[in-house]
A = this chain, B = another copy of it.
Amino acid sequence: MIENPFYTPEVQGAYELHGIGDLELEEGGTIPDLRLAVATYGTLNEAKDNAILIPTWFSGTHQTWELVYIGEGRALDPSQYFIVVVNQIGNGLSTSPHNTDGPVAMSKFPKVRVGDDVRAQEKLLREVFGIETLFAVLGGSMGAQQTWEWAVRFPGKVRRAAPIAGTAQNTPHDFLFTQALLDAITSDPGWNGGEYAANTEVDAGLRRHAGIWAVVGLSTEFWKTEFWRGIEVPDYRFTSMEDFQTNFIEAVFAAMDPNALLSMGWKWQRGDVARNTDGDLAKALGRITAKTFVMPIDEDMFFPPRDCAAEQALTPGSELRVLHTVAGHFGLFGFEQTYLDELDSHLKELFAADV
């Protein structure tokens, strides 16, 4: 067990840990006594039909959702909905390589798939909150992967779905991108096959990992326009590209746990709803009964709109709603108010839809 201050309520905001028992994994093996880190906002109504599930993205936690997306008057309004943000398995808050002892600690952590997360979330919602049907499921990036998986695997339980900046079936380009990210970590001698004593021993690898994110996670125009000058952090103004790269992008990833990133990355590479239908993507997406808004980001370099549009075209009754932000995939962090307004507008329309 490694103490990493990044994965604490002090840094991430409050959450609760819910043990949901042993989880048998699709790839084989078991996570004993899986704990899911969960943050909720609002109140579950008596009919238990106002619950919105939000699974998290690669390297993310519930925090961005709380700070950037959830609020009264917003689409994700806790005065109307019971919003449940579930940190994905291996993200550093839910059971993860560095925060557990015994048979699944560190390098012994088993391979987890998107389907494992979704089954665990379904059990959590049912057993802990008594929720059988979701008003909506939505998420960005790997959160979109989980959203798609929910809509395909449990069509009767999902009334509305909004996969944002992510695909139902991971693309070859995304596989290679993720591999480059993971190789940056595992090539650091400090990683030591996953048996390091602290994430700081893998600092160089984590920073190289961040360096690749800087190239593919944002957009050419983000850098050209020096958009980072407008990004506000407390008591600090970025004065150069190098400053932003070192003290924002690198600093964020350097605080994280290497094995957590590797666990999530392996999962991301293999996200594929067609596993439910013997490899037939059209058949998998054809199962969906949720009202679905598919929302890619226009400047996303690795989940480009055309890849999302192709899946949307296979999804009955769905609509394509392209979001606009110069921050590309990292637009998910809500750097642009216009993007947030656009997303809120689409979500409000989705939530108002009769289903």
Contact = CB atoms under 8 A, between A and B. Distances in A.
Given A172-B241, A208-B187, A212-B212, A220 B179 contact: no
Contacts of A173: 215, 218-220, 222-224
Nearest to A241: B172
Contacts of A205: 187
Contacts of A304: 220
A223 B301 CA distance: 13
Interface string A230-274: 000000000001000100000000000000000000000000000
Interface of A: 171-173, 175-177, 179-180, 183-184, 187-189, 204-205, 208, 211-212, 214-216, 218-224, 226, 241, 245, 301-302, 304, 306-307
Given A177-B215, A189-B189, 14 more contacts: A171-B223, A171-B224, A173-B220, A173-B222, A173-B223, A176-B215, A176-B223, A180-B214, A183-B211, A187-B187, A212-B215, A215-B302, A220-B304, A224-B307
Given A187-B187, A187-B204, A172 B223 contact: yes
Contacts of A302: 215, 220
Contacts of A176: 211, 214-215, 223, 241, 245
Contacts of A215: 173, 176-177, 180, 212, 216, 302
Q: Which of A173, A301, A302, A307 has the most CB of B within 10 A?
A: A173
Give me the 10 closest cross-chain CB pairs, A-B, nearest first.
A172-B223, A173-B220, A173-B223, A180-B211, A177-B215, A176-B214, A180-B212, A176-B215, A172-B241, A183-B208
Contacts of A187: 187-188, 204-205, 208
Contacts of A245: 176
Contact of A301 (B171, B222, B301, B306): B301
Contact of A306 (B208, B221, B226): B221
Q: How many copies does the complex hold?
A: 2
A41 to B, nearest CB: 35
Nearest to A302: B220
A177 B223 CA distance: 11
Nearest to A177: B215
Q: Which of A172, A208, A218 has the most CB of B within 10 A?
A: A172
18 contacts: A171-B220, A172-B223, A173-B218, A173-B219, A173-B220, A173-B223, A177-B215, A180-B215, A183-B208, A187-B204, A187-B205, A189-B189, A215-B216, A215-B302, A220-B301, A220-B302, A220-B306, A301-B301
Contacts of A184: 184, 208
A228 B131 CA distance: 47
Nearest to A215: B177
A8 to B, nearest CB: 30
Contacts of A219: 173
A202 to B, nearest CB: 12
A268 to B, nearest CB: 14
A302 B184 CA distance: 20
A271 to B, nearest CB: 15
Counting chain B CB atoms within 10 Å of each CB, the highest count among A224, A226, A307 belongs to A224
A214 B172 CA distance: 11
Contacts of A306: 220-221
Given A173-B220, A187-B187, A302-B220, A211 B307 contact: no
